[in-house]
Structure 1
Amino acid sequence: MLNFGFQSVLYLIIHLIALIVTWWAIQCLKLDLFVHNPKGPKAKVLLIFITIAISYLVAKFFLDYLNWSLNLPQIYNH
């Protein structure tokens, strides 16, 4: 298994990459279809919260996949 410090850095990097990619991808969303004032501060905060929520799920998926794939060799140890 990965040591704790390296694992923490890896998790932070994956979460940051997921956040940046999600923010980049969400910029094409036509916000004026969903909110009254798409340029206002409330719309920007909503965009930030949506970005955080989606990027968390994406990063969690990749981190779970990584952990599961690292645990696969333990099948043969039993």
Structure 2
Amino acid sequence: MTNGLGLEAFIHIVVNLLCLGLAWWALQSFRFDLFVKNPKSKQAAALKVICALALGYLIARFFLDYFQAVQLLPYLF
């Protein structure tokens, strides 16, 4: 029983890290300098990290929820 939970936790961690990396990579093309006063400041860098974390979390939640729903579909019939 706990082996399945450990594997599920590992998959969640990997998916979250991959989505965080994807979000960080995608945000590199976004022009933050148009929206912040000083784009070289620590605050602007913190904003970029926070945006990457939030976007990565949302992407990971979408995929994890989708795969969980797919696994539960056989119980429909």
TM above 0.5, one fold?
yes
Deviations 1:32-75, CA, capped at 9 Å, x for gaps: 10001111100000000010001100000000000000001111
Separation in 2, partners of 1:56, 1:74: 28
**Shift in Å, 1:3:** 1.2
Sequence identity, in percent? 36
Counterpart position of 1:72: 73
TM-score under structure 1 normalisation?
Answer: 0.92
TM-score under structure 2 normalisation?
Answer: 0.93
Counterpart position of 1:8: 9
Separation in 1, partners of 2:62, 2:36: 29
Counterpart position of 2:20: 19
Counterpart position of 1:42: 43
Which consecutive residues of structure 1, in runs of 5 or more, have no partner in the other structure? none
Q: What is the number of residues matched between the two proteins?
A: 75
Q: What secondary structure does 2:57 align onto? A: helix
Over 4 Å off, 4+ runs: none
Equivalent residues in 2 for 1:43-58 (5 A)? 43-58=44-59
Deviations 1:3-43, CA, capped at 9 Å, x for gaps: 10000000000000000010000001111100011111000
Counterpart position of 2:60: 59
Counterpart position of 1:33: 34
CA-based RMSD: 1.1
